[in-house]
Copies of this chain bind each other. A is one copy, B any other.
Amino acid sequence: MKEQLWSILSAVRQNSPLVHNITNYVVMNNTANALLAAGASPVMAHAHSEVSDMVSIAGALVVNIGTLDEYWVESMKLAVKQANALQKAWVLDPVGAGATSYRNNVLEELLSYRPTVIRGNASEIMALAKFSSNTKGVDSTSLSEEALEAAQQLSETTSAVVCVSGATDYIVNKSNYNALSNGHVLMSRITGMGCTASALVGACCAVSADNAFAATTAAMALMGIAGDIAAEKAPGPGTMQVQFLDALYQLSEYDFRERLKLETNP
């Protein structure tokens, strides 16, 4: 598995896939910089007049609803339709799921276009699971377990790979799941770290179209390990951002293997 994950990250560096992001205003800069640091090529485009054309030349699409509005939601729909028509991977980042009924309605509609991967935090994934399935009720003993169960339900209903990120990241694919325990708490004090993760998932999917489960795991491992390395040099969230980009850029295969904390299930 370690072998496979590193070879995906390595392919991103070598092939420099074009990743089309329809994302929020807050994080566009971070997202673009993280993709560049990891070796990918970012493009941001949302005009109704060109969004389908841009999907056509991209390796993968990332849709993030953070600062959605009516125009942008239409852009997202045009883009995911085209991604589906061309059988390209697309990643959904359901920022703020559950916060307003508008967000929930938009997400319900986007889910109907069958994302390849869904990545969110625990509360977002739990919100999505709630309205995408008749939740069976959960037997979890902790928030983390509850989120994992929600991710499993959501994966079942949607056939998407579902990633719920947090202190432990779970990557769920029907009956299997991976758990990653890299990363640092300081990452939660920087805006857009989740959005960056979703963008890197897009980059990995672009070079590993047949295996979104491995691609998502590779991207989340890269996030966590770069976070670990950065945190060693960062007394606060300002330095952390800078060191994180450096770590994405510099990460060696040796460090990746040594630091990876991956548990595969079953």
Instruction: Write the residues of chain A forming the contact surface with B, with a CB cutoff of 8 angstroms.
Output: 24-30, 32-33, 36-37, 42-50, 53-54, 57, 66-71, 96, 99-103, 188-192, 235-239, 241-250
Contact of A238 among B27, B32, B37, B96 (CB under 8 A): B37
Q: Are B67 and A46 in touch, CB under 8 angstroms?
A: yes
Contact of A247 among B25, B27, B101, B236 (CB under 8 A): B236
Q: Can you list 5 A-B contacts (CB < 8 A)? A: A37-B236, A37-B237, A49-B69, A235-B250, A242-B242
Contacts of A69 in B (CB 8 A): 46-49, 71
Q: State how many angstroms separate the Cβ of A24 from the closest Cβ of chain B.
A: 7
A33 to B187 Cα, complex, angstroms: 11
A242 to B33 Cα, complex, angstroms: 13
Contact of A239 among B36, B42, B189, B242 (CB under 8 A): B242
Contact of A26 among B44, B189, B247 (CB under 8 A): B44
Contacts of A49 in B (CB 8 A): 69-70, 102
Contacts of A188 in B (CB 8 A): 36
Contact of A235 among B96, B102, B246 (CB under 8 A): B246
**Chain A, interface SS category:** helix
Q: State how many angstroms separate the Cβ of A154 from the closest Cβ of chain B.
A: 22
A73 to B25 Cα, complex, angstroms: 17
A67 to B44 Cα, complex, angstroms: 6
A174 to B243 Cα, complex, angstroms: 44
- A25, A33, A47, A188: most-surrounded residue (chain B CB, <10 A): A47
Contacts of A48 in B (CB 8 A): 69-70
Q: Are B235 and A36 in touch, CB under 8 angstroms?
A: no
- A66, A236, A243: most-surrounded residue (chain B CB, <10 A): A236
- A26, A67, A102: most-surrounded residue (chain B CB, <10 A): A26
Given the contacts A25-B44, A47-B68, A53-B101, A189 and B249 also touching, CB distance less than 8 Å: yes
Contacts of A32 in B (CB 8 A): 26, 191-192
Top 6 nearest A-B pairs (CB, nearest first) are A236-B246, A238-B245, A32-B191, A50-B102, A238-B242, A47-B69
Contacts of A29 in B (CB 8 A): 26-27, 29-30, 191-192
Q: State how many angstroms separate the Cβ of A234 from the closest Cβ of chain B.
A: 8
In the complex formed, the residue of B with least CB distance to A35 is B191
Q: State how many angstroms separate the Cβ of A29 from the closest Cβ of chain B.
A: 6
Q: State how many angstroms separate the Cβ of A142 from the closest Cβ of chain B.
A: 21
Contact of A249 among B36, B54, B236, B248 (CB under 8 A): B236
